[in-house]
Amino acid sequence: MTSGLRERKKTATRLALHEAALRLVAERGLDRVSVDDIAARADVSPRTFFNYFASKDDAVVGLDPAGPAEQAAAFTARPTGESPVEAMRAIARETATRMAEDPQLWPLRLQVVETNPALVAKLAAAFSESDRVLATAIAERTGTRVDADALPMLLAGVAGAAMRTSLHRWFASDFTASLPGLVDEAWDAVAAGLPG
Amino acid sequence: MTSGLRERKKTATRLALHEAALRLVAERGLDRVSVDDIAARADVSPRTFFNYFASKDDAVVGLDPAGPAEQAAAFTARPTGESPVEAMRAIARETATRMAEDPQLWPLRLQVVETNPALVAKLAAAFSESDRVLATAIAERTGTRVDADALPMLLAGVAGAAMRTSLHRWFASDFTASLPGLVDEAWDAVAAGLPG
DNA sequence: CGCATGTTTGCAGTTCCTGCACGTTTGGCC
DNA sequence: GGCCAAACGTGCAGGAACTGCAAACATGCG
C-alpha cells in the first residue's frame, strides 16, 4: 500500500508532528506552545513544519486531509438499494467504529480540542469542509444539485451534527460509552424527525 | 434603546470597520487586504481595530457577538406549548426574515464569504459557537443535559445545518428566492426524517 | 554511477496580534 | 459649569505565525 521509502517517511514525519503538537498542547495549553517547540520535538526544522501543516492549529487537530474524500468515496460505493439517509448512516457508523478502535488518539484529540476554544473552531471548520465534499457526493448519487436542492447540504450537515453530538457525548462519558452506539442513537432521533 | 453617545459611537465604529473590511475584501480578495488598510478606511488607528475585532477575518464576517445569546433568549421565550423543534423552527424563520430585510448587507457578506475559503471556515466556526449556546438553552428548556442527552446538541446542530443550507441556496439563487421559504423547506425535510 | 525529481532547510521579510503606558473623551455628580 | 472616575483611542515595542526563494540533500530509476 505505502510502497516507497519516501512516502513512508512523509507519513511518519506528519504523524510525529501531530503527536508532538498534541502532547505539547495537552501539557501546556495552546498558547504556550510555539511552532518552533513542535518542530523541535518532532526533530525537523521549523520551516519543514509548514510543509506538512498550514497552521499550528491544524497540526494539533491533525486530521487526515484525505478523510473527507474517502468518506465521499465510501458513500458512493454503498449498495444502490440504500436510501441516501441509510447510506450516510452506515458510513457514519463505520467511521465511528474506526475512531473508537484506537483507545488513545481520538480521546486525547478530543480532550485537547475541548480544552482550547480556538481548536473547537478549527474542528468545526474541518467538519464544514467535510460536509461540503459529502454534499457533492450526495448530489451526484441522488441526481440533485447542491445549489438548487436542499437535500445534499442538509443531509451532509445533519450527518455532521450527528457525529459532533456523538463525539461530545463520548467525551462527556469519559470514553466509556460506545461511540457507534451513540451514533446510532443520534440517527434514530434524526430519522424520527427529532421528537422532543 | 441605545442611549448614550458612547455606545452609539462604539456601534458606529464597529459597523464602519466591518463595512470597510467587507468592501475592501470584495474588491481585492482577503489576502490583499491588511488590517492597516481596513483601519485606514474606517478612520481609526490599527491598534483600535483590535479593540473591536479579534482578527481580520472576524471583521470581514462581522457577526453580531450578541447574536447567539439573543437567539437563545428568543428560544427560551417561545410559548411553553411548543415542542423544542417547533420553537427552533420558529426562531430560525424569524432570523431568516430579519436577514432578508436588508437587501445589501447579507448578500454582500455571503458573496465575500463564499469567495474566500478562509472565511467559510470562520463562518462555520461562528455557527458552531452559536450551536453551543443554543444547545445549552435547549437543555434548560427540556430539562435534559447537554453532556448526557443527544437532543440538545443534535437539535441545535440540525438547526444550524438547516440555516447553512438555506443560506447557500439563497446565495445560489442570486438572492431571488425567499429565505424564509427556503428555511421552511429545510425544516419540512427535517421534520419528515430527511426522505430521499 | 548519474540524472531527474522531490524534500529539507536557512534566511529575509511581511503581517497578525498583544501588552503596556499615556493622552483624550464621556458620563455622573455636585 | 467644573470635577472625577471610568471607558476609550492611540503609539510603540515585540513575539509569533506564516511565505517565497534558493541552496543543499535524499530518493527513485535507468
The answer to whether strand C lies under 7 Å from the CB of residue B50 is yes
CATH assignment at residue B53: 1.10.10.60
Q: What's the mean pLDDT when you consider all of chain A?
A: 96
- Angstrom distance (rounded) from CA A132 to CA A126: 10
Residues B83 and B170 in one domain: yes
In this complex, do A157 and B165 lie within 8 Å of one another by their Cβ atoms? yes
Return residues 48-77 of B near A (CB < 8 Å).
Answer: none
Strand D nucleotides in reach of protein CB atoms, 7 A cut-off: 7-12, 16-21, 27-29
- Residue A2 pLDDT greater than 60, yes or no: no
Q: Band the pLDDT of A41: cuts 50, 70, 90.
A: very high
Residues A17 and A106 in one domain: no
Q: For the range B75-83, what are the long-range contacts, defined as Cβ-Cβ under 8 Å and sequence gap of 24 or more?
A: B75/B134, B75/B137, B75/B138, B75/B141, B76/B137, B76/B140, B76/B141, B83/A195, B83/A196
Residues 6+ apart with CB under 8 A from B167: B110, B179
The closest alpha carbon to A119, from A21, A37, A42, A11, belongs to: A21
Q: Which three cell numbers stand for residue A193?
A: 424527525
Note the maximum CA span of chain A: 55
The reply to whether B193 touches chain A by the CB within 8 Å rule is yes
Residue ranges, chain B, pLDDT below 50: none
Q: For residue range A58-67, list pLDDT tens digits in order.
A: 999 999 999 9
The minimum CA-CA distance between A3 and chain B, rounded to whole Å, is 33
Handedness of CA B14, B15, B18, B24 (dihedral sign): negative
The answer to whether strand D lies under 7 Å from the CB of residue B85 is no
User: Which of the residue ranges A4-8, A97-101, B8-12 would you say has the lowest mean pLDDT?
Assistant: A4-8
Q: For residue range A149-167, list pLDDT tens digits in order.
A: 999 999 999 999 999 999 9
Residue B12 within a domain: yes
The answer to whether strand D lies under 7 Å from the CB of residue A40 is no
The answer to whether strand C lies under 7 Å from the CB of residue B4 is yes
Residues B93 and B122 in one domain: yes
DSSP H helical segments within chain A, as ranges?
A: 5-28, 35-41, 46-52, 56-61, 67-76, 84-101, 105-115, 117-142, 151-172, 179-191
Say what the pLDDT of residue A5 is.
Answer: 75
The reply to whether A128 touches chain B by the CB within 8 Å rule is yes
Residues B120 and B165 in one domain: yes
Residue B133 within a domain: yes
Residues A96 and A171 in one domain: yes
Cβ–Cβ under 8 Å, residues B175 and B111: no
Say what the pLDDT of residue B5 is.
Answer: 79
Q: Could you list the residue range(s) of the whole structural domain that residue A10 is in?
A: 5-56
Residues B100 and B150 in one domain: yes
A120-149 residues near strand D (Cβ < 7 Å): none
Residues of B within 8 A of A191 (CB-CB) are 193-194
Residues B108 and B91 in one domain: yes
Residues 6+ apart with CB under 8 A from A31: none
Handedness of CA A53, A55, A59, A63 (dihedral sign): negative
